[in-house]
Structure 1
Amino acid sequence: MTTQNILQETSSCSLQSIGLCFHAMVQNFPGFVFSFKLHSDGKEEFLYASDNVIDIYGLDVKSIKEDTKKLRLAFHVEDLETFRDNILFSAQTLQPFYAEFRYFHPTKGLIWLETRSQPTKQADGSVIWHGITLDISYRKQAQESLMQTANKLSTLLNTIPDLIWMKNIDGKYLFCNHAFENFFGASEEEICGKSDYNFVDKKLADFFRQKDLEAIASKKVNTNEEEVTFKSTGEKVMLETRKAPVYDEEGNLLGVLGIAKDITRKKELQLQLHEKELRLKEAQRIAKICSWHITFPECSLYFDEEVYKILDINITTQAPTYGDFLALVYPDDKNYVDALFKKSIQEKTPFDVIHRLKDKNEIIRYIHLHAEIIYDNHEMPKQAIGILQDITEQKLTEEKMVFFTHHDVLTGLPNRTLAIDRLEQALIYAKRNKTKIALLHIDIDGFKTINDSLGYHMGDAIIKAVAKKLQENLKETDTISRQGGDEFLVILPDINDADNISAIATRLIKKLNESIIVDSYSLSSTVSMGIALSPDDGENFETLLQKADTAMHKAKESGGNAYCFFAEHMNKEITEHLSFVQDMKQALFKNEFELYFQPQIDLQTHQICGAEALLRWKHPTKGFIPPMSFIPIAESSGLIIQIGEKVLHDACHQAALWHKEGIECSIAVNISAIQLQRGNLEEIIKEALSLSGLHPSCLELELTESVLIKDTEQTLQSIKRLKNLGLKLSIDDFGTGYSSLAYLKRFAVDKLKIDKSFIQDIAEDQENIAIVQAIIQIAKSLGLKTIAEGVETLEIVELIKHYECDEVQGYFYAKPMPYDAFVEYCKKFMEKSLHVKIFKQEQE
């Protein structure tokens, strides 16, 4: 073999090795390697395409070589035109081609790609690019995350009112926030890369630079104060600046971080504090606190000017003596003050005394003296140094405070504490002299209405007028006390005849009924008065008050504007009332309350459309107690809240059960005004519906007209929330109260329930017929349903149906019955209705 052949073979092997190496390198390269040719006639072709084109574009080599345009079919529409323009520009200028663009990969979804290539012009006018394409989605995500972090940091810095900045070690700014921009009157872009010398005068710039270097040298936070002017506003402010050196992770100094807080207001407050201290000294003068001292043994007395003003004496050229001062002291206090001063000197204790003096206008003033005695080396008094304060106003205030611990602030009358003391004294006297005492408990009728309608100032005026009239019409030996609110007590001691008390009570009621004028209003008030006697009704305050209170409530029950003596049977009534309330509490605990149900009939379909839940109480010893006997007491005692909650839960539960039995009718539950105003009714209903599974549209709440009329705005909001639950709302006993079309519309009522008093004798009473027809027409005009209760005869059913009433309820169909009986009744009623329906169909 010749040398030439050996060289050719060696070259061939080397080229082959290089090719293999290049191929291996390309295949392991994470991107797509290509050679792309653009002919002069616009034709495109890939001269070379690496196999991992499938990873980048989701296409194989063969398909892109057959049709280069396949690649651009998945380009994001917003990036395609720019990509094409860049190719043409690179072809024309032979500048390197670079593009970042979005691409819809068949498996990866939308990704970001980057293409870099170098163009080469060919002899035939074509251009060939050798380049690579990389998936840069991860980098883009990282950039986006970094950008968001930077934006958050920038937002944070720019919301801080303090000036924040950072400089490099040469004093050039690296960044700053908006507050700092206002200081220099330039944007961050204009500030960065420059130093303080570009923005402030040299003296201030030197000061800033010095503080930077001090922070760097100390290697800790340095603080200083500086007065500067904001270029953006021209405002002068005082800044507290904190500067600290900043280092990288390897401990190399990067620069200085600065934060400056505007402390102008703080400085102003410090100045104000100083001024307040000066004013305090002035206040001491105004408060009439001043100094004095006396020398021994000559007893010469020295005052500052304020003492002369306080004591209201003339300043003389000759120093006054201790005797001159003592002459000013109130005669009854003179000996006490002198003795106490001498005792302090002898016992070497501070001298402290409060005494009176009369000024030249004969006005008594209270003076507080305090002094320390100073002794010489021989333990002899040398001088006394002290203060003097006029405490007249303080003493008068204290006397008022003492007065009002036993008297009412509004009227000045004795309060409960003093009334008890006076009664106890009167009881002792009466027992000794075998006389009686009367305790009158007086309460203003309708006082809350006056307060609510005319305002508290009117209420106060009436209370003061009542107090005045009581004082004018009773003796000085009688005690009049205000207990609070609109309640008064009168103690009449040394009574021999009950008729005298009646005469006094009658006279008081008459006088208290007389009108008074307040703010051009002519107001008259009436009172209810309860009277208890001692020893007949009790021999201590609490017992007599309790019985007078009981009698007063009896007077109120009779219509007010009256008095009532306590009688023992009243105690019995109270005891029975309390026992009845306790029985109701036990009934709740022992489940003695039971729901009965009375069906409601649709007059058009003759089907049971609903039922009213009626509460029954079977007392263990008294048997069934009518609702009218216990419901009012439940309301007055507040137990209606707990009873009402139980009724709602039981009614929803049992209605849900009969739905499962195939009885598709709603349940109507009566709601008390107290439940609506004081109970958490909305939450209770939500819970009852949730636990029972009953649909809200199957629950109907029955409210009386008086509930809706009273406290309208609060009631409106409560009703709206209940209606939003999907419940139905009906008005019970409609026509018996304050019927108003306005509230029917405002409260979104669904049904009117015509009271049985209009129904029971409708066949004979023309007025009732007119009322019932009017109610039905009103309901129809407002799109409401009507139901008549108390229907007891077929004749009434036919009449009501003739007047186009929608539903009826009453003994003609069924009495209220317990759950099992109600379910059985409904099933039989439904079966009977079905037979009638089938019979009619067969007849037709």
Structure 2
Amino acid sequence: KIARELNDIQQQDLIGYQLALPRLHQDDEIGMLVRSYNLNQQLIQRHSEDQSDLVMRFPVSELPNKSFLMGLLEQVVTRQQTTALMIVTCETLRDTAGVLTETQREILLLTLVEKLKSVLAPRMVLTQVSGYDFAIIAHGVKEPWHAITLGQQVLTIVNERLPIQGIQLRPTCNIGVAMFYGDLTAEQLYRRALSAVLTSRHKGKNQIQFFDPLQMEEAQQRLTQENDILTAMDNQQFALWMQPQVEMSSGKVLSAEALLRMQQPDGSWELPEGLIDRIESCGLMVTVGYWVLEETCRQLSAWQERGLMLPLSVNLSALQLMHPSMVSDLLELLTRYRIKPGTLILEVTESRHIDDPHAAVAILRPLRNAGVRIALDDFGMGYAGLRQLQHMKSLPVDVLKIDKMFVDGVPEDCSMISAIIQLAHSLNLQMIAEGVETEAQREWLSKAGVEVAQGFLFARPVPANIFEERYLAPESADYKS
């Protein structure tokens, strides 16, 4: 039976194969033979694994080598995973040959390996393809700007001063990047990254180069935009302007919306076309969004210290809403600025991008419990509205804002806006109509049961100080505590 079993083993399964110990031959010669065979198989398998490890790993660093890398790239190609391949050439490893001792060069290599690992995300893979070349499969990197950001992190960490046994080094490197969008073989992808790093070396030390010049231009443009936005924040070139939200029957200001404005070269303040899209594409929506939230809380706190309880609403993108630190960050701001319950209103925008409404509810509910009012800013906008119909009753929403797109059609085209108003009434939600610009629109909305509106018919957005002068003057006691 044992002979037949051994004869039936497939060639690929032979190494490491273990025989079952016969039940009636535990301690006799057959049992001893089976145990001896199994032990010998374990030793052969361990030796085979050690040999394979030597073949697939680079000496000293023990990083996966080029053979291993190409196998991983074949998987990337097979799965059609959008990613970036980066080759990092460390000239210092090459230039110190014959200058540093073997021990010092090993210390240099191992230190650089640890530095490279420290800037990589968990899914990314670091390999060594030559004595001074490393390759990074940057899983999760889908755009050139993300790749160049990672490349800059690599340059920064590699360029740090490095003392080795009394010798001060300042390592340098060059980086070549090839993006994979599903149209290359593994070999082509590798050769593109290699070509890019050779081009970067011709340009000097500490350079990053894409194989595709257009990708290089796109990434550089994105980084310039990111720098411009961060510089504007540092130089106080962002400000919040206020637009009143008015009770249409009386003309009384019930609340206001805080709107982002940016100072222009001529000194004027406006919201440049595409600014929000640029902020989002640069990955700065959460950073800028937090600044807006804090400025809103600071403004509310200043008013409330003077006894003014006017509610202030602020936009919150889906990206901000779903950020892991959103709840804790906002609760900390509420506590730090001692914001009175009911005076901060979050207008959730881009809700069509919220993939999990149940997760949104879990985020919004603790904020609402802390006294934050929630407004849905884009209900009815195609897919968003249809999907949200299923979740409206569970969403912790207080206010439904009617988008300007629907208001523009009034009074000629009223079918969609009438349905939205009817839904809001059935859910006992307050309504605010946005973008009201004509008396005809105001009259129709009032008759339809919409009590509050904002738009150029009532007032344009103005700086906070002018807003206070116009609507929060001492003689007005509407919002005194």
Q: TM-score, normalised by structure 1?
A: 0.35
CA, structure 1 residues 791+572, in 2 after alignment: closer, same or farther (shift >3 Å)?
same
| 1:722 aligns to 2:367 (yes or no) | yes
Check the 8 A contact 2:240/2:260 in 1, yes or no.
yes
Cα distance, 1:674 vs. partner?
A: 2.5
Q: Residue in 2 aligned with 1:286? A: 35
> Which residue type is aligned with residue 603 of structure 1?
M
Cα distance, 1:756 vs. partner?
A: 0.7
Cα distance, 1:752 vs. partner?
A: 0.8
Cα distance, 1:761 vs. partner?
A: 3.1
Between the aligned partners of 2:329 and 2:38, the Cα distance in structure 1 is: 66
> Which residue type is aligned with residue 428 of structure 2?
G
> Which residue type is aligned with residue 69 of structure 2?
R
List runs of 5+ in structure 2 lacking aligned partners: 1-26, 59-65, 84-134, 143-179, 201-207
| 1:703 aligns to 2:348 (yes or no) | yes
> Which residue type is aligned with residue 809 of structure 1?
Q
Cα distance, 1:791 vs. partner?
A: 0.9
Q: Which digits, 9 at most, give the CA deviation of each residue in 1:272-296, with x for residues without a partner? A: xxxxxx9xxx999835599xxxxxx
Between the aligned partners of 1:676 and 1:734, the Cα distance in structure 2 is: 16
Q: Residue in 1 aligned with 2:442? A: 797
Q: Residue in 1 aligned with 2:320? A: 675
Check the 8 A contact 1:732/1:752 in 2, yes or no.
yes
CA, structure 1 residues 416+727, in 2 after alignment: closer, same or farther (shift >3 Å)?
same
Q: Residue in 2 aligned with 1:539? A: 195
CA, structure 1 residues 741+755, in 2 after alignment: closer, same or farther (shift >3 Å)?
same
> Which residue type is aligned with residue 286 of structure 1?
R
CA, structure 1 residues 540+820, in 2 after alignment: closer, same or farther (shift >3 Å)?
closer
Q: Which digits, 9 at most, give the CA deviation of each residue in 1:58-110, with x for residues without a partner? A: xxxxxxxxxxxxxxxxxxxxxxxxxxxxxxxxxxxxxxxxxxxxxxxxxxxxx
Check the 8 A contact 1:598/1:815 in 2, yes or no.
yes
CA, structure 1 residues 445+540, in 2 after alignment: closer, same or farther (shift >3 Å)?
closer
Q: Residue in 1 aligned with 2:390? A: 742
| 1:631 aligns to 2:287 (yes or no) | no
Identity %: 27
Check the 8 A contact 1:702/1:732 in 2, yes or no.
yes
Q: Which digits, 9 at most, give the CA deviation of each residue in 1:175-197, with x for residues without a partner? A: xxxxxxxxxxxxxxxxxxxxxxx
Cα distance, 1:804 vs. partner?
A: 1.0
> Which residue type is aligned with residue 547 of structure 1?
F
> Which residue type is aligned with residue 777 of structure 1?
Q
Check the 8 A contact 1:733/1:754 in 2, yes or no.
yes
| 1:393 aligns to 2:45 (yes or no) | yes
Check the 8 A contact 1:790/1:809 in 2, yes or no.
yes
For 1:134-153, what aligned pairs fall within 5 Å after superposition? none
CA, structure 1 residues 401+612, in 2 after alignment: closer, same or farther (shift >3 Å)?
same
Q: Which digits, 9 at most, give the CA deviation of each residue in 1:219-272, with x for residues without a partner? A: xxxxxxxxxxxxxxxxxxxxxxxxxxxxxxxxxxxxxxxxxxxxxxxxxxxxxx
Higher relative contact order (CA 8 A, sep 6+): 2
Q: Which digits, 9 at most, give the CA deviation of each residue in 1:325-378, with x for residues without a partner? A: xxxxxxxxxxxxxxxxxxxxxxxxxxxxxxxxxxxxxxxxxxxxxxxxxxxxxx
Between the aligned partners of 1:696 and 1:589, the Cα distance in structure 2 is: 31
Q: Which digits, 9 at most, give the CA deviation of each residue in 1:458-495, with x for residues without a partner? A: xxxxxxxxxxxxxxxxxxxxxxx99475999xxxxxxx
Between the aligned partners of 1:541 and 1:819, the Cα distance in structure 2 is: 51
Report the secondary structure of 1:696's partner residue.
coil
Cα distance, 1:570 vs. partner?
A: 4.0
CA, structure 1 residues 284+749, in 2 after alignment: closer, same or farther (shift >3 Å)?
farther
Check the 8 A contact 1:696/1:725 in 2, yes or no.
yes
Between the aligned partners of 1:621 and 1:705, the Cα distance in structure 2 is: 32
For 1:233-244, what aligned pairs fall within 5 Å after superposition? none
For 1:824-835, what aligned pairs fall within 5 Å after superposition? 824-827=469-472
Q: Residue in 2 aligned with 1:613? A: 258
Report the secondary structure of 1:810's partner residue.
coil
> Which residue type is aligned with residue 210 of structure 2?
K
Between the aligned partners of 1:755 and 1:288, the Cα distance in structure 2 is: 77
Report the secondary structure of 2:401's partner residue.
strand
Which of residues 566, 577, 581 in structure 1 aligns to 2:226? 581
Between the aligned partners of 1:445 and 1:758, the Cα distance in structure 2 is: 39
Between the aligned partners of 1:398 and 1:719, the Cα distance in structure 2 is: 54
Cα distance, 1:710 vs. partner?
A: 1.6
Report the secondary structure of 2:424's partner residue.
helix
Cα distance, 1:743 vs. partner?
A: 1.9
Cα distance, 1:652 vs. partner?
A: 1.9
For 1:431-830, what aligned pairs fall within 5 Å after superposition? 443-444=80-81, 483=137, 528-529=182-183, 539-541=195-197, 547=210, 566=212, 568-618=213-263, 624=269, 626=271, 629-659=274-304, 664-704=309-349, 706=351, 709-736=354-381, 737-739=383-385, 740-764=388-412, 766=413, 769-827=414-472
> Which residue type is aligned with residue 398 of structure 1?
D
Report the secondary structure of 1:600's partner residue.
strand
Between the aligned partners of 1:569 and 1:741, the Cα distance in structure 2 is: 43
Cα distance, 1:404 vs. partner?
A: 5.1
Q: Residue in 2 aligned with 1:416? A: 69
Q: Residue in 1 aligned with 2:90? A: none
CA, structure 1 residues 814+486, in 2 after alignment: closer, same or farther (shift >3 Å)?
closer
Cα distance, 1:735 vs. partner?
A: 0.9
Between the aligned partners of 1:398 and 1:700, the Cα distance in structure 2 is: 63
CA, structure 1 residues 673+546, in 2 after alignment: closer, same or farther (shift >3 Å)?
farther
Between the aligned partners of 1:820 and 1:700, the Cα distance in structure 2 is: 20
Report the secondary structure of 2:225's partner residue.
helix
> Which residue type is aligned with residue 195 of structure 2?
E
Between the aligned partners of 2:326 and 2:71, the Cα distance in structure 1 is: 44
Report the secondary structure of 1:733's partner residue.
coil
Between the aligned partners of 1:287 and 1:442, the Cα distance in structure 2 is: 43
Q: Which digits, 9 at most, give the CA deviation of each residue in 1:801-821, with x for residues without a partner? A: 121112111111111111011
> Which residue type is aligned with residue 416 of structure 1?
L
CA, structure 1 residues 825+816, in 2 after alignment: closer, same or farther (shift >3 Å)?
same
Check the 8 A contact 1:705/1:731 in 2, yes or no.
no
CA, structure 1 residues 528+796, in 2 after alignment: closer, same or farther (shift >3 Å)?
farther
Q: Residue in 2 aligned with 1:16? A: none
List runs of 5+ in structure 1 lacking aligned partners: 1-277, 291-309, 311-388, 407-412, 423-439, 447-480, 489-525, 549-565, 834-844
Cα distance, 1:619 vs. partner?
A: 5.2
Q: TM-score, normalised by structure 2?
A: 0.59
> Which residue type is aligned with residue 606 of structure 1?
G
Check the 8 A contact 1:598/1:817 in 2, yes or no.
yes
Report the secondary structure of 1:744's partner residue.
coil
Between the aligned partners of 2:136 and 2:193, the Cα distance in structure 1 is: 22
> Which residue type is aligned with residue 461 of structure 2?
P
- Decide which structure has greater strand share: 1
